[in-house]
Amino acid sequence: MPEEPILPIDDPRLKEPSAPVEAFDDDLRALADRMFGIMDRAVGAGLAAIQIGVPLRLIVIDVDDDAGVRRRLALANPEIVYASRETRVGEEGCLSMPDYGIPVERSTRVRVRYSDLFGRERTIDGDGNLAVCLQHEVDHTNGIIFTDRVSTLRRGRAQSRFAKVRRRVA
């Protein structure tokens, strides 16, 4: 299977909200499997379908929560239904902008309502790295990228650095 590209952070498709998942079928499960493979090859903690050019509200995650419990899940139509007022600032990266992290403020705890790959409604409570990953990936489904969550100065530095990296690769 050829390696599939992850869209770069400046691709305009990443700024568009994704469409809801309506068909919970073998195609959706195959897409989730493909996303897990891409995420694993890129050594990531999460991936949204839009990052591979598929504008559906589907994310995959593989991250430990604060208790050390590994959470490897596919979430269709994820929606944050609770976010704690308590926040933390932590270094955050994105597979669409590899090898670059910026400090982003996120809620320390979240609850996300979603459907599993068979259409059953579920919820997941996340804290620590799991909460950060869930917020980051749900943002992708809403057309929000992590640089949108930082100051104009930090965003400008990130864009400048990414432009330099793209010129070297091109």
Question: Which positions ≥6 away from 85 have C-beta within 8 Å?
Answer: 107
Asked whether 144 and 136 are in contact (CB, 8 A), the reply is no
65 SS3 class: coil
- Residue of 16, 86, 105, 137 marked catalytic: 137
With b for 16 or more beta-carbon neighbours within 10 A and e for fewer, the 114-135 pattern comes to bbebeeeeeebebebbbbbbbb
- Please identify which residue in the block is written with the tokens 């499997």: 33
d(CA 92, CA 102): 5
d(CA 145, CA 111): 20
Residue 4 annotated in active site: no
Q: Which residues are catalytic, by number?
A: 137
